[in-house]
Amino acid sequence: MKKLVGALVIILVVAAAGLAGAAYWSGRQAEHWYQESLAAAAKNPNIKFSTTYYHRGVFSSQAVTRVQFVMPEDQGSETPDPSFSVRQDIYHGPLPLAGWGVPGVAMGWTGGVVRVTLDPDSSAWTRALAKWYGHQEPLVIVSQIGFDGASDTRITMPPLTVSDVEDLQSLQFSGLQGQFQVTAGNAAAQGSLKMDSLDAVGKPVAATEGQPASGGAQIKLRDLAMTAKQHKGAFDLQFGDSNFTLGQLSVHEPGIETPLVVENLNVTGSVSQQSPQQVGGEVMMKAGKVTVEGQSGTGSLKLALRNLDGATVNQLEQWQQKAAGNTDDPQMLDELLKLVHVLLRGKPEFVLDSQATLSNGEWQGKLSLNFQDFGDVNLLQSPIGLLGALEKGLAELAISKGLLETALTDAIKEELKGQLTEQGQEASDQAVQTLAAQQATAQLKSVTDLGFVRLEGDRYRSTAKFEGGKLYVNDKEIPLTATVGEQDLGGDETTLEESGVDGGEDADAGDAATPKP
């Protein structure tokens, strides 16, 4: 019996020692994962991460990490600092000890669990969130860490409904859920994030001198989702695809008659390796419907960068990290210029393609630019030497007659209203509209007569081409040495006083009168 008891004691001691050793090793692994995460996050030059507290025990550790945003030097003191801190509870493995009792963590065989929450006292907005959520944690991030360093992370923000808080009359938030997986050594990552709805209504705006009372601002958001799938490839760059979708966004500001509405927005981005030496990327944006200031329509925009030297792109990323907050250093600028020269030797290409269909017409535009090394030109002494970086370019534009005339008239109208306000004068809306239409017609006639724009049927068209150091617009060469102002593109401008337009509400457009101050 004594031998059996002795054997059991030895077994228990060995098991305890083994378990303690495993927990210690797992703690070291979790600590190593934490340090790697900080190092990866530190690559962003606009955000600084620092550990303000770290305590490692046998079965668990605690840490507090400060997330400090680098604010622009010219940022006003009234702008709140969004920086904050997070608390991390690190549970050592192997499970079932790792994460024992941690909410949302299923039992399984893994190296450790890290649970991240906001430090409620770390900033003004975290204090506000903590107050709104009461005893519920506003944000919880749980990462399960494998023995090889791979991680599976879940992000949760619970639903929230509040009223009469701060500047908000009401707020309804459906909550947010996300999940991300990262393989060992950060070789690959994928994940998704989803939010069903957000409705916010601001408190009514009281009347002030010259400004009537109005309802509060309203923001409505539906069906937001993000996905990403990336992997580390050549040149130590991240390749892959990402996608952002938004079912609806509506923003209604006080004093504005019609809200800004965006429906069925889809944005996709990708970065890929084109050849053993070069990489490229593109972004595609499509909107099912956009309504702005009473105008609505659909549209798409595609932006692409191709033929980028992969090794140089990696060096540019490293330069950006070193130059953060140190852009005035002449040595950093010299390094940047050298990298730009190398990048341009690969003949990179930039393409911008856009199209839109609106209620009063259509728009189609395409811009293609091919670059080259501009040589040893001193840009400070001869800025025009930068044109040497452009090997060739092509810009094509086609826009409906009604759309261009309306857009130009509206722009001139807003400019005239601003001039009247500055001069302390008044004029009827009809008088301003009439003068704006006259000036728009004159400007379009001027650029058409000069050959910069052609009217073909119901569309205005223009083509600009740069090649061999020469610029052509609709096959007409434009001297690049001409100074600004030598070509009169605007037509004759007429003031309200000179226009012969009556400032009265019911006057005819042809009656001559000066707007009454």
Nearest 5°: the CA angle 255, 257, 263 is 120
Other CB atoms within a 10 A radius of the CB of residue 494 amount to 14
Higher local confidence (pLDDT), 394 or 77: 394
Other CB atoms within a 10 A radius of the CB of residue 191 amount to 19
Answer yes or no: is pLDDT of 5 > 50.
no
C-beta of residue 291 within 8 angstroms of C-beta of residue 261 = yes
Q: What is the pLDDT of residue 30?
A: 57
Nearest 5°: the CA angle 267, 245, 82 is 90
Answer yes or no: is pLDDT of 218 > 80.
yes
Q: Encoding tokens for residue 130? A: 């903590």
Q: What is the pLDDT of residue 514?
A: 36
Q: What is the pLDDT of residue 18?
A: 36
Name the pLDDT band for 51 (thresholds 50, 70, 90).
Answer: confident
CA distance 466 to 382: 20
- Eight-state DSSP code of residue 205: B
Q: What is the pLDDT of residue 485?
A: 40
Answer yes or no: is pLDDT of 423 > 50.
yes
Percent of the chain surpassing pLDDT 90: 40
Q: What is the pLDDT of residue 469?
A: 84
Average pLDDT over residues 19-35: 50
C-alpha gyration radius of the chain: 31
184's CB contacts (< 8 A; 6+ apart) are: 146, 148, 149, 150
Residue that is written with structure tokens 């947010």 in the block: 176
Answer yes or no: is pLDDT of 207 > 50.
yes
Q: What is the pLDDT of residue 105?
A: 65
Q: What is the pLDDT of residue 515?
A: 39
Name the pLDDT band for 11 (thresholds 50, 70, 90).
Answer: very low
Percent of the chain surpassing pLDDT 70: 75
- Helix (H) or strand (E) holding 399, with range, is strand 390-400
Q: Which range is least confidently modeled, 24-28, 213-217, 402-406?
A: 24-28
CA distance 97 to 105: 12
Q: What is the pLDDT of residue 93?
A: 62
Higher local confidence (pLDDT), 101 or 308: 308
- pTM of the predicted model as reported, rounded to 2 decimal places: 0.79
Answer yes or no: is pLDDT of 190 > 80.
yes
* Rounded-to-10 torsion of CA 28, 184, 156, 90: 0
Burial of residue 112 (number of CB atoms within 10 Å: 0-12, 13-18, 19+): buried
* Rounded-to-10 torsion of CA 322, 324, 326, 327: 100
CA distance 420 to 211: 18
Answer yes or no: is pLDDT of 59 > 90.
no
Question: Which of 100-106's residues contact partners 24+ apart within 8 Å by CB, and which partners?
Answer: 102/142, 103/140, 104/140, 104/142, 104/154, 104/156, 105/142, 105/144
Kindly report the average pLDDT of the chain as a whole number. Answer: 80
Q: What is the pLDDT of residue 311?
A: 95
Q: What is the pLDDT of residue 165?
A: 85
Q: What is the largest CA-CA distance in the chain?
A: 121
Residue ranges covered by each domain of the chain: 1-158
Give the model confidence (pLDDT) of 463-505 as tens digits: 999 988 889 999 888 887 643 344 444 445 555 555 555 444 4
Give the model confidence (pLDDT) of 249-278 as tens digits: 999 888 777 888 999 999 999 999 999 999
Give the model confidence (pLDDT) of 426-466 as tens digits: 888 888 888 989 998 999 999 888 889 999 999 999 999 99
Name the pLDDT band for 321 (thresholds 50, 70, 90).
Answer: confident
C-beta of residue 385 within 8 angstroms of C-beta of residue 373 = no
Higher local confidence (pLDDT), 431 or 8: 431
Answer yes or no: is pLDDT of 508 > 80.
no
C-beta of residue 343 within 8 angstroms of C-beta of residue 315 = no
Give the model confidence (pLDDT) of 111-165 as tens digits: 778 889 999 999 998 999 999 998 889 999 988 888 788 888 999 999 999 998 8
